[in-house]
Each structure stands twice: as structure tokens, then as C-alpha cells.
């Protein structure tokens, strides 16, 4: 019975640590112009000293129907923590978007000053959330947290931007500014992170995201091959009955940890 009590204690511990979602991590240190998982478009992006930078081209801006240079990170995910630093120099606006089936959540930092270097932005500083697929008819819900910085406040400064999304809740940090957002849009499945800007120059560094796949399936992080091997060795001193009980419990735990169970 002593061995059986040890097995039961082991199983209780396993129940606590086994059913955890497998978080993945993606890091873009901008050390190279080519990286699987990153797309750079609509401009001549440069990569040097761990920084990606681009100067907006007025001709390309017109060609792409008033859309400036863009960085994309395609990833299917639900919950995620995404963070990076930006340095906007005389930009008219900088836009950070989470996409899925259409737009899902957007952060827009704009320079609305009449004497802005690139002219006053017609799009204001704001957040937009789409609870359902975005369209010409569905413009989303505009959110303007108190104290959200305009682009002019952070012009030519390195500023960290971070968003932590869990279900329909998000915590957003831009420099010293922090806000909490609750919206149904945040719980939607996502497949793309985008960062774009209009006019001026944008530099980006230290991009990283930790995320859970959009299927949200639970997987075991405890019962890996090496752990099972060590457990099998420990069963050698068990009685026949204890060993059968142990094997049955292990079977049930492993089948529970498989997708769809």
C-alpha cells in the first residue's frame, strides 16, 4: 500500500500541472532582411544593428492607395502578449493591427496638429475593435482611453508598445500610458499582426510575441518521454496490484491530455 500511496500523490501532482495550454514564442531581432514569419512590404525596409527602419515613399503611398510601408507577422493565435519598440520620426500616423477574418483590433497613433510635418492626420489617435468581420458597413467600435498619447508626444523617441490579450480582455501599454480594454473583438481568432505607418520614417526593434494557438487545445507539459521513462523504472519495486493500478491511471491521464479529450 505504501507504493500505491506514492502513486496517488504523484497523480494528484500531475493533475495540477498537466492540463496547461502550450504557449509558443516568436522573436524578430531584425538581424536579417529575411526571416520566416515576417513580411515587409510597400517600402525599402533596412535592417541594421537589430533595427528595422523605412522611409515612406510618396509615390508608393499613392500607388498603394494611401497605404504606407508595412511589416506583417502571420501567426494563428488567440491569446497573446505582443511587444516591441518604435521610433516614429515626423510620421503622420502609425497603426498597429491584429487581424483575423478582417480587422479585429487596431491602435492608431496620429499627429493631428495643423502644423504637423506631413500635414494633419485625418485619422485621429484612437483604438478600434470589431466584434464581427470588418467591412464598409462595419466600421467597428471606437475607443479613446483617457491619456492615450498622440504621435506628436512621442515623435523621435524610442517608445515601448505592449499588448496582453486574454479572452475578451486586453492590457495596452504605450510608453508610460496604460489602459485596460474589455471587448468581444479581443476573443476572436487572429492570424496576423501588422505594423504600418504613413509619411516620415519608422524604426522598430525588439519584436516578440508569446501566444496560444487559435485552437486553444490543452496539451500535457508534464508527461513527456523522459518523465514516463523514469516512472517506468520506479514501478519495478511495486507489487503487481500497484503496478496495474498505476498503469491504468497513467493511461487515463495520457488519453485526457490528447486533443479532443
- Delimit the domains of the chain by residue range: 72-212
Opening angle at CA 36, ends 65 and 84, nearest 5: 70
CATH 2.60.120.200 fits 72-212, yes or no: yes
Collect the ranges in the chain with pLDDT lower than 70. Answer: 1-22, 213-238, 240-261
> Are 106 and 123 spatial neighbours (Cβ–Cβ below 8 Å)?
no
Task: Residue 152: count other Cβ atoms within 10 Å of its Cβ.
Answer: 19
Q: What is the pLDDT of residue 196?
A: 97
The predicted pLDDT at position 136 comes to: 87
pLDDT tens readout for residues 94-117: 999 999 999 999 999 999 999 998
Give the C-alpha distances (Å, rounded to integers) separating 55 from 34, 68, 117.
19, 10, 14
Q: How far is CA 162 from the centre of its chain?
A: 9
Q: What is the DSSP letter of 36?
A: T
The per-residue pLDDT for 72 is 98
Each residue of 83-110: b (16+ CB within 10 Å) or e? ebbbbbbbbbbbbbbbbbeebbbbbbbb
Q: Would you state the pLDDT for residue 248?
A: 64
The predicted pLDDT at position 134 comes to: 93
pLDDT digits (tens, 9 = 90+) for 12-36: 444 444 444 567 899 999 999 999 9
| 8 Å CB contact between 95 and 77 | no
Amino acid at each position: 500500500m505504501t507504493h500505491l500511496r506514492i502513486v496517488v500523490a504523484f497523480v494528484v501532482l500531475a493533475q495540477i500541472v498537466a492540463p496547461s495550454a502550450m504557449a509558443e514564442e516568436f522573436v524578430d531581432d531584425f538581424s536579417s532582411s529575411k526571416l520566416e514569419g515576417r513580411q515587409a512590404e510597400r517600402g525599402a525596409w533596412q535592417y541594421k544593428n537589430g533595427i528595422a527602419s523605412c522611409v515612406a515613399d510618396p509615390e508608393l503611398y499613392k500607388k498603394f492607395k494611401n497605404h504606407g510601408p508595412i511589416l506583417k507577422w502571420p501567426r494563428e493565435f488567440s491569446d497573446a502578449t505582443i511587444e516591441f519598440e518604435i521610433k516614429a520620426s515626423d510620421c503622420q500616423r502609425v497603426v498597429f493591427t491584429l487581424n483575423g477574418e478582417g480587422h479585429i483590433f487596431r491602435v492608431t497613433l496620429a499627429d493631428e496638429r495643423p502644423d504637423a510635418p506631413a500635414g494633419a492626420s485625418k485619422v485621429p489617435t484612437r483604438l478600434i475593435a470589431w466584434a464581427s468581420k470588418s467591412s464598409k458597413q462595419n466600421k467597428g467600435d471606437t475607443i479613446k482611453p483617457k491619456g492615450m498619447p498622440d504621435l506628436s508626444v512621442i515623435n523621435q523617441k524610442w517608445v515601448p508598445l505592449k499588448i496582453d490579450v486574454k479572452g475578451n480582455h486586453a492590457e495596452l501599454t504605450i510608453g508610460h500610458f496604460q489602459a485596460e480594454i474589455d471587448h468581444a473583438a479581443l476573443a476572436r481568432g487572429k492570424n496576423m499582426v501588422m505594423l504600418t505607418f504613413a509619411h516620415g520614417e519608422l524604426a522598430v526593434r525588439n519584436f516578440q510575441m508569446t501566444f496560444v494557438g487559435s485552437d486553444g487545445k490543452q496539451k500535457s507539459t508534464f508527461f513527456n518521454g523522459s518523465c514516463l521513462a523514469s516512472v517506468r523504472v520506479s514501478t519495478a519495486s511495486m507489487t503487481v496490484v500497484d503496478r496495474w493500478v498505476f498503469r491504468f491511471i497513467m493511461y487515463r491521464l495520457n488519453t485526457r491530455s490528447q486533443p479532443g479529450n
